[in-house]
A and B are shown apart, each in its own frame.
With several copies, the nearest count.
Chain A
Amino acid sequence: MFCLSDKKIDDQQLKQQTLDPSAGGFVCFEGWVRDNNQGKDVQKLAYESYPILAVKEGNKIIAETYEKFDIKKAYCTHRVGLLEIGDMAVWVGVSAAHRDAAYKASRFILDEVKSRVPIWKNETWTDGESGWVEQES
């Protein structure tokens, strides 16, 4: 399942949802707000989203993941709104019988979410300026 959250992401709860007694492997990715990005000192940032479409597209990605990879469970939550340095921006968790599927599915979800889910990052830098950030490769 894919969710948007305007509060701190509860990664422990998400992990509990992802666990499965028949799964031997669990891969999780967490993206945090760094104190710097693309050479600038970041003070805080905001993620804007198009909520209905974001949830729809995110869940389409999760459904594709279940089709493409031999996994047990997959969850992804993306934070929106105002975030501080060190806040978690995105959490992706996958459980699977074998490690290869868990790694590949996790990476697939993260890459697809970054490129397809309508969410946009606006950074405020320590010099007081702010701006929309283009996707990094």
Chain B
Amino acid sequence: MIHLEILFFGKLKEIWNTKKLTMQTTSSNIEELYTELLTKASEVPHKASIKVAINDEFVDWNSQLKDNDSIAFLPPASGG
């Protein structure tokens, strides 16, 4: 079991109805964690457009998780 902080941005905040949550999980990488989180989502987001960051760095979907990581899920940027 590891302890994680999860951050949601933009419209993903609405899909998960929160901007931040903390959780205990046995998921070992982002892919598994995301599948686990989908059970709490109000709708299924377009996964291919989501970017992921661990501890303020963009990472791949197969990146490994470790205790106390902060994971962010980011919808497509719409600045400018």
Contact = CB atoms under 8 A, between A and B. Distances in A.
To the question of whether A and B form a pair in one complex, the answer is yes
Interface of A: 31, 47-50, 52-53, 56-57, 78, 89-90, 99, 110, 113-122, 132-135
B72 A134 contact: no
B79 A78 contact: yes
A119 B77 contact: yes
A130 to B, nearest CB: 11
Given A48-B10, A50-B9, A53-B53, 8 more contacts: A99-B80, A114-B77, A116-B77, A118-B53, A119-B80, A132-B78, A134-B78, A135-B78
Given A118-B74, A120-B9, A53 B56 contact: yes
Interface of B: 7, 9-11, 14, 51, 53, 56-58, 72, 74-80
Nearest to A31: B80
A41 B38 CA distance: 34
Contact of B80 (A48, A50, A114): A114
B53 A50 contact: yes
27 contacts: A50-B7, A50-B9, A50-B72, A50-B74, A52-B56, A53-B53, A53-B56, A53-B57, A53-B58, A53-B72, A78-B80, A99-B80, A113-B79, A113-B80, A114-B77, A115-B77, A117-B79, A118-B77, A119-B77, A119-B80, A120-B9, A121-B78, A132-B14, A132-B75, A132-B78, A134-B76, A135-B77
